[in-house]
Amino acid sequence: MADVSEDIEKAARLVLEATYVLALVGAGMSVESEIPPFRGPGGLWTKYGEPDMRGYDRFIADPKGWWESIVKREGYARDLVEGIAQARPNPGHFALAELEEMGILKYIITQNVDNLHYAAGSKNVAEIHGNIHKLRCVSCGRRFERDEINMEVIPPLCPHCKGYIKTDGVMFGEPIPPDVLKRCEDETGKCDCMLLLGTSAQVYPAAAFPSLVRRRGGSLIEVNPYDTALTAACHVVIRGHTGEALPLLVERIRSLRK
Ligand code: APR
């Protein structure tokens, strides 16, 4: 990683000046945990092409057929599931858990479905695209651990409202579940400093949150090895990998706080 000490210094001071710090996280955060990103070098969409927007419509039209089809995972789905299965949190995830523990980081809005923030010890996490380990009822919105649902019946049904159960991961064309979207909007409404960590900032509604913070006079800090759709709007850009840069940022914040 190039010498980022000056940027780390600026970022640490901005974080300490702020009152309500959030992190917006993308696939780049988990690349150092050996999970491929979606876009750019080594991206799943780069390799397989971006899926069409009718995934959710296909589920709704034929939930039984959909459940039968996902048993034989192929292409990007297989790579993503296998990547997540072997993944462990990396120093970037642990650095965010530490910032939360220090009372500085108030919430994480993650686009990742890999559960690695919780695995690293973070508690305040909004999973805007769902969690790969969970299931969700498309009618009442309740979420379940996999062992809470009778998978002998295909399609599986909600034990409360008999609605159809799907994986919690938000599919292309699927609306973001209203409870998690409200949490993200409420947290963003309080935020005066947002860390943009390993996201290309191309997918909405998540990509809109930083602009809302900036519009209200808040500061934006980006950690990414490459330019993104929001680089120009950021006050500080740390050109590097989150697994290396975030521990340095936490260390500098700790020393400045003394
Ligand atoms: N550290 C920091 N950033 C990194 C690293 C790293 N080690 N490696 C790659 N990156 C950056 C890339 O430069 C890129 O800008 O992470 C970003 C990953 O971008 P995407 O693959 O587009 O991931 P993301 O922004 O999370 O995509 C949003 O799109 O396809 C949907 O549902 C999917 O949640 C996903 C959403």
Q: Is 199 in the pocket of ligand 1 (CB under 6 A)?
A: yes
* Residue numbers in the chain where pLDDT is lower than 50: none
pLDDT at 250: 98
Tokens of 140: 């009442």
Strands 193-197 and 219-223, bridge-based pairing: parallel
Q: Is 27 in the pocket of ligand 1 (CB under 6 A)?
A: yes
The CA distance from 153 to 67, in Å, is 10
pTM strictly above 0.95: yes
Q: Which of 19, 28, 25, 27 is nearest to 219 (CA)?
A: 19
User: Ligand 1, from 30, 34, 38, 209: best to mutate by most atoms within 8 Å of Cβ?
Assistant: 38
Catalytic residue numbers, as ranges: 129
pLDDT at 2: 73
pLDDT at 207: 98
Q: Is 226 in the pocket of ligand 1 (CB under 6 A)?
A: yes
pLDDT at 1: 67
Distance 28 CA to ligand 1 centre (A): 4
CA angle 51, 45, 240 (to 5 degrees): 145
pLDDT at 73: 74
